[in-house]
């Protein structure tokens, strides 16, 4: 269920783009992200910071796209989001010695400190990779190619999360023996 909630704004964006173009798709994305955030709040009775930041960026960059009639804003939103996530994780870990992943998931997963640190570094690297990849596609390819990348590019987070799961499972198994 959660997976469907996470993916429905991008699917609706893609369908709206195919139907009516980037500006209608941007408005649909804004509405779908707002609905997604409301649904998550209805289920959990709270929102994580990532949900709030994502909603803020979608609404801000979407509004700029629609008001200025310039699709570059919506195309660069993922780069800003991934870059901000990488910066926040790296700053928390490096400057404030706080492992955000451990703070969020530490009650659900018992992992050694070194594993939490490696997971955070992996997330920083992943976010930087995705920010750079989106920037490259947004800057050097057509809007059609960028929209296709947004839909089919979801293979990257799926593969990353599977890899994270395999890595974490290895350490959970060791912890239980």
Residues 39 and 93 in one domain: no
DSSP 18-47: HHH-HHHHHHHHHHHHHHHHHHHHHHHSS-
Residues 76 and 26 in one domain: no
CA distance 139 to 127: 18
Number of domains in the chain: 2
CB 171 within 8 A of CB 102: no
> pLDDT of the chain along its 177 residues, tens only?
676 788 899 999 999 999 999 999 999 999 999 999 999 999 999 998 889 999 999 999 999 999 999 999 999 999 999 999 999 999 999 999 999 999 988 888 889 999 999 999 999 999 999 999 999 999 999 999 999 999 889 899 999 999 999 999 998 855 444
Domain limits for position 89: 71-177
Residues 57 and 78 in one domain: no
Residues 58 and 94 in one domain: no
Residues 7 and 80 in one domain: no
Residues 58 and 141 in one domain: no
Residues 96 and 85 in one domain: yes
Residues 61 and 111 in one domain: no
């Amino acid at each position: 269920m959660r997976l469907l909630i996470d993916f429905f704004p991008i699917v609706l964006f893609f369908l709206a783009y195919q139907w009516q173009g980037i500006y209608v798709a941007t408005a649909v994305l804004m509405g779908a992200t707002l609905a997604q955030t409301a649904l998550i709040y209805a289920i959990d009775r709270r929102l994580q910071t990532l949900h709030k930041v994502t909603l803020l960026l979608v609404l801000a960059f979407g509004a700029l796209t629609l008001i200025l009639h310039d699709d570059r804003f919506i195309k660069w939103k993922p780069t800003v989001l991934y870059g901000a996530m990488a910066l926040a994780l790296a700053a928390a870990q490096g400057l404030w010695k706080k492992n955000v992943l451990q703070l969020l998931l530490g009650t659900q997963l018992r992992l050694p400190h070194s594993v939490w640190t490696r997971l955070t570094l992996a997330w920083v690297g992943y976010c930087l990779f995705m920010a750079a990849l989106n920037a490259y596609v947004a800057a050097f390819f057509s809007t059609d190619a960028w929209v296709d990348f947004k839909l089919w590019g979801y293979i990257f987070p799926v593969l990353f999360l599977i890899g994270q799961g395999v890595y974490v499972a290895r350490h959970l198994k060791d912890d239980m023996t």
